[in-house]
């Protein structure tokens, strides 16, 4: 694949993950640029497209976390992980009201950080458990277990 095709294919994924971590477009743009800079800085050989995708995801997460550490970013309860960027997920035609969306957002924000991260990557970024496992460098079965536990916790929070 040529460079333009790589960017076109993976830009939404990289930006979405960057946005999930950085919570604002300006910082997400910086992470996005850093990821593709690292990618094109030197030629890389990938075993497959899955390997390329996993590499891009891992570098995106690492770049975002590095940026957060460098800024000494402190997350507060008032700073909801589900900012407007995540609301770009289309719910039109689903019959889901804004109130129901807010209920889900609030319930997800109450999850433990590890479970919340997995839920977000799975549902908001559309990654599968294998991709999440590679990205977070954790066993896939652990991701599946945490996803199941996260769903159970969400159900409890939503039924309250």
**Burial tier of 149 (Cβ tally within 10 Å: 0-12, 13-18, 19+):** middle
Whole-prediction pTM value?
0.55
- Provide the number of structural domains found in the chain: 2
Q: Does residue 78 form part of some domain? A: no
Which domain does 102 fall in, by range? 84-159
31-45 pLDDT tens trace = 999 999 999 988 788
Q: Residues 123, 60: one domain? A: no
Could you tell me the two tokens for 105?
């957002």
Q: Does residue 75 form part of some domain? A: no
Per residue in 4-38, is it b (16+ CB within 10 Å) or e — as a string? eeeeeebeebbbbbbbbbbbeeebbeebbebbbeb
35-74 pLDDT tens trace = 999 999 887 888 999 899 989 998 998 898 888 777 643 4
Q: Residues 20, 54: one domain? A: yes
- DSSP at 89: S
Q: Residues 57, 94: one domain? A: no
Q: Residues 154, 93: one domain? A: yes
Could you tell me the two tokens for 134?
């590679």
**CATH label of the domain that carries residue 109:** 1.10.10.10
Contacts of 13 (CB under 8 A, 6+ apart): 53, 56, 57, 125
């Amino acid at each position: 694949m040529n460079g333009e095709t790589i960017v076109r294919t993976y830009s939404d994924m990289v930006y979405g993950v960057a946005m999930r971590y950085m919570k604002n477009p300006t910082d997400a743009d910086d992470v996005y640029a850093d990821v593709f800079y690292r990618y094109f800085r030197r030629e890389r050989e990938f075993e497959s497209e899955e390997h390329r995708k996993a590499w891009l995801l891992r570098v995106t997460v690492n770049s975002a976390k590095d940026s957060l550490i460098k800024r000494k970013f402190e997350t507060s309860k008032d700073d909801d992980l589900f900012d407007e960027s995540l609301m770009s997920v289309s719910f039109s035609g689903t019959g889901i009201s804004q109130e129901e969306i807010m209920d889900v957002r609030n319930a997800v924000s109450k999850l433990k950080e590890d479970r919340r991260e997995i839920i977000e990557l799975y549902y908001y970024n559309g990654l599968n458990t294998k991709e999440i496992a590679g990205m977070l460098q954790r066993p896939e079965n652990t991701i599946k277990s945490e996803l199941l536990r996260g769903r159970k916790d969400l159900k409890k929070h939503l039924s309250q």
